[in-house]
Structure 1
Amino acid sequence: MTDPAPVTGDPARFSPGFDLPRPDAGVQRLYSAATTRWCPLGEYAGHRLTLLDLASNPGTHTTKTFASLLIVARAIAYIRRTGEPITIFSPTSANKGTALRDAVLRAIEAELVTPEQLRVVILAPESCRDKLRASRMSTDSTLRELNPLLLYRGAPAESVKRLGREFVDAHAGQLKREGRNLWFSLELANYLIADTARAFFEHAVDPTDVSGGPRWHAHAVSSAFGMLGYHHGRTVLEDAGLATPASRPATLLVQHMATADMVLSLRTGSFERHGLPRYSAEPGTGLHRQDGEGDPHFPTTTYDPDETLDPTFYTRRPATSPAMNELIGRFGGDGIVVSLHECLHRYPEIRAMLAGHERGLPVDVRGLREWSLVMALTGVLNAVDRGLITPGADIVVHGSGWYSADEYQPPGESSTTTVTTVDDIAAAVIG
């Protein structure tokens, strides 16, 4: 799938390779933040529901912990082998950046590297400030200076990806000449490999070939890195003779209205928004309702046909859509888009489902800051009610993230730097 060797010829394409450090006590301490749980949620309309909890790390409360720890571990192995320092650079809507900062801090606190050997620069849309987290990386003056947290003021929010790539292309060579490798870590392979663990975990606790009946996996997605990783893990299991392709679960992609691109691509073959159903304002309710008989893959009602339910999901025209479409075409599945109105309607029911979980949902929905799990469960319940899922199928919901305002503090203004151009980024990172 990918070359495990380091990439060092072109500074703008640097990668430390895929070697990992020896799993000594410090490295095991680093990895200890990555935990997974298989949590039954009861039944709904004849379907057994299970939460695949990927969000237990209190430093992130999202699945991005897994890939971030491997990214950092690979950097540690390279630094130990060569003595060359690395600066990880990543655009993010919030969660990837939070997880990378958490992983780098864990490595420093475990004394696996020094703060000067391993740094991380995060570029996030300013609109996502409240989803970012304060930590020692922002309160310790030395760590704050070495690990800039950059907020992009421009639009659209997804431009952080382009701007970040342009910065690395323009300045990686200069940093290399100064003795530092700049690693643009926002590459599919860096996340795909970590997410294969989902398939191996499922195989260990509830193998599909043993359960006998059909199974679906549901995930709130922007680019579906997590689901692609799961399917790659399934391929490895099947190639090893540990599972059969016939038992591979179908996939339900769940999105929101602002970036429904993967569902549109799956359903219409195009990212164009003319594929969305038409909505009309409903007098007296403040809602928009689908015209005519309606398409069950899209919200029946919404406050705004273009609403952003959660800014985490900001990717338009994802390059991963063709691969995901092919997997769904081969192994089954579908896509559904949910609205804020639908999520709020389902919220008490979803909160009750999670009542037995050690970290449920806040009583007051206004405290919720990460909507991934609520989106996924709303999509599942709507899909079942609308007949989009195989009758009687087990449904595994990927708990890729949920957190509320009382679980963390956003970074203060003094610990972030506002940028709009590549030159602004260079000034913050290089000086």
Structure 2
Amino acid sequence: MTSAVTDEPTGTRTASTTSTTSQNTPSANLLTDFHDLLLAAVARCVPNPEPVLDDPTAFSPGFALPRLDPVVREFLSVATARWQPAGEYAGHRLSLLDLTGNPGTGTTKTFASLLIVARAVEYIRRTGEPIVIVSPTSANKGVALRDAVLRAVETGLVTPEQLRVVVLAPVSCRQKLRASRLSTDAGLRALNPMLLYGGTPADGVKALGRAYVDEHAAALRDRGVNLWFTLELRNYLVADTARAFFEQRVDPTDAPGARPRLHAHAVSSAFGLLGYHEGRALLEEHGTASRATRPASLLVQHLGTPDMVLNLRHGDFDPGHRPRYAPDPASGLFRQTTDPRFPEVTYDPDEVLDPTFYTRGPVTSPAMNELIGTFGGDGVVVSLAECVHRYPLLRGLLGDHLPADLRTLREWSLAMAATGVLNAVDRGLVEEGRDIVVHASGSYTTADYEPLDGSATTEVASVEDVAAAVRS
């Protein structure tokens, strides 16, 4: 039940570990169980929820959702979450908010993607106009949108010609893309192209996707087809508000005996934490939660893109604020001791632990900085070496949420977040007496999916390449 672990850089800590699979684990469907609160979240987060039709490059189907009939409920049935105890570490009680329950994705992108597709379905039903979703992605968002579109087709909510999705991902993320009927069925594959971009930086897919919509949306609109560029904060914010609603149901922060709380999340742009805070603010406005007990936030990033942590601490994204690493001949690692928010050790100061986290200079940083300044929290950057060193303890805390063989991991979000929590505690970045909720925003292995075959992808380098792939 209890094990001690020695961490070379930070001393000895004792963790009380309880397998999360053996405990009472409250669960919910975040999109059906909290349907009314999600509608209230739309009213709070979206200045104008009506469709955007006057500018084809800015098309939106609006935020109306279909009625929760049996078919829609079946479509949304994979939007499940669980709340699980995960032992203690150095006096901090740990809980896991498991958002990985959809076997078709293994990530939290399920929730926003299902809502995006549900909104498209409602618009198509109402107007008869087809929609082509265009989504740049580092992988997980695109996988989730493809899964949601396929679910809409297979449940009969739309026909394959009425709703399509064009996904544009960096070549570096190829191994995270999944096969499904959208890739194995020739007709569906042609309607829903999976495009790979080999340029640098990896997040150049965003500019390329935006440029394609800007140049081609008007012509397609003349043919009766709506292009929808879904990479917009509110498209994701609304779904993530349900995290706060779920917490309030199963483990409210203002319950008798509750201790101060911190939410930890591996982030690229922190959409999930921003959504959580919007949901929490809504509960506070309704009088069902207290602003005084709003949890703090811990941002966890990796060395490849530590921009949100840099901005939180220094007010800008200047990479010059990163600590300098020196080679350690005794261990073969690189070390630094000047900044507790960065890894003490790393195999490579320029490593990319997980290409999912690829956003540079996120526009969401000021909003997240303000929330941390108001409600508390911090940021920490982790390395692969630290995750590997912590892995036996992570397995003890998180059980089957991580594989026995870490070499099979293809999504490191949960391992990163949990490693960041332990490092932050050991380095005094978390106030004593705080309970910690780790957002399990993603975790999957090579055994969880069939990789997308190369014949089901198209490499692109320009707007013309994207247009040709969509036409074909």
Gaps of 5+ in 2: 1-44
Q: Aligned match of 1:92 in 118, 131, 137? A: 137
Q: Aligned match of 2:424 in 383, 402, 416? A: 383
Which residue of structure 1 lines up, in the alignment, with residue 167 of structure 2?
122
Q: Aligned match of 1:412 in 442, 449, 453? A: 453
The TM-score normalised by the length of structure 2 is: 0.89
Check conservation: 1:119, 1:147, Cα contact below 8 A: yes
Q: Aligned match of 1:246 in 292, 303, 317? A: 292
Superposition map of 1:225-240 within 5 A: 225-240=271-286
Superposition map of 1:318-357 within 5 A: 318-355=362-399
Q: Which amino acid aligns with 1:396?
A: V
Check conservation: 1:12, 1:172, Cα contact below 8 A: yes
The structural deviation recorded for 1:286 is 2.0
Superposition map of 1:295-310 within 5 A: 295-310=339-354
Aligned length: 426
Q: Does residue 61 in structure 1 map to residue 106 in structure 2?
A: yes
Q: Which amino acid aligns with 1:33?
A: V
Q: Aligned match of 1:262 in 308, 317, 337? A: 308
Q: Aligned match of 1:112 in 141, 144, 157? A: 157
Check conservation: 1:130, 1:410, Cα contact below 8 A: yes
Check conservation: 1:133, 1:408, Cα contact below 8 A: yes
Q: Deviation string for 1:366-410 (max 9, x for gaps)?
A: 100000000000000011111110102100000000000111111
Distance in 1 between residues matched to 2:415 and 2:193, nearest whole Å: 31
Distance in 2 between residues matched to 1:201 and 1:22, nearest whole Å: 21
Superposition map of 1:168-187 within 5 A: 168-187=213-232
Check conservation: 1:63, 1:400, Cα contact below 8 A: yes
Q: Does residue 160 in structure 1 map to residue 205 in structure 2?
A: yes
Task: Give the aligned CA root-mean-square deviation in angstroms.
Answer: 0.8
Q: Deviation string for 1:248-283 (max 9, x for gaps)?
A: 000000000010000000011110111111111111
Q: Which amino acid aligns with 2:162?
A: Q
Gaps of 5+ in 1: none
Q: Which amino acid aligns with 1:294?
A: T
Off by >6 Å, runs of 4+ in structure 1: none
Which residue of structure 2 lines up, in the alignment, with residue 274 of structure 1?
320
Superposition map of 1:191-206 within 5 A: 191-206=236-251
Q: Which amino acid aligns with 1:397?
A: V
Which residue of structure 2 lines up, in the alignment, with residue 218 of structure 1?
264
Q: Aligned match of 1:364 in 405, 411, 424? A: 405
The structural deviation recorded for 1:177 is 1.0
The structural deviation recorded for 1:360 is 2.6
Which residue of structure 2 lines up, in the alignment, with residue 399 of structure 1?
440
Check conservation: 1:214, 1:390, Cα contact below 8 A: no
Matched residues, percent identical? 68
The structural deviation recorded for 1:354 is 1.9
The structural deviation recorded for 1:325 is 0.2
Distance in 2 between residues matched to 1:346 and 1:29, nearest whole Å: 39
Distance in 1 between residues matched to 2:454 and 2:324, nearest whole Å: 41
Distance in 2 between residues matched to 1:265 and 1:306, nearest whole Å: 18
The structural deviation recorded for 1:212 is 2.9
SS of the equivalent of 1:242 reads coil
Q: Deviation string for 1:3-47 (max 9, x for gaps)?
A: 110001111100000000111111000110100100100111101
Distance in 1 between residues matched to 2:452 and 2:180, nearest whole Å: 8
Distance in 2 between residues matched to 1:420 and 1:241, nearest whole Å: 51
SS of the equivalent of 1:218 reads strand
Check conservation: 1:208, 1:215, Cα contact below 8 A: yes
Distance in 1 between residues matched to 2:314 and 2:380, nearest whole Å: 13
Which residue of structure 2 lines up, in the alignment, with residue 135 of structure 1?
180
The structural deviation recorded for 1:417 is 0.5
Distance in 1 between residues matched to 2:402 and 2:379, nearest whole Å: 25
Check conservation: 1:281, 1:287, Cα contact below 8 A: yes
SS of the equivalent of 1:219 reads strand
Distance in 2 between residues matched to 1:337 and 1:131, nearest whole Å: 22
Distance in 2 between residues matched to 1:74 and 1:108, nearest whole Å: 14
- Structure 1, 199-208 or 280-289: larger mean CA deviation: 280-289
Which residue of structure 2 lines up, in the alignment, with residue 151 of structure 1?
196
SS of the equivalent of 2:401 reads coil
Q: Deviation string for 1:149-204 (max 9, x for gaps)?
A: 00001111000000000000000111111111000001000000000000000000
SS of the equivalent of 1:209 reads coil
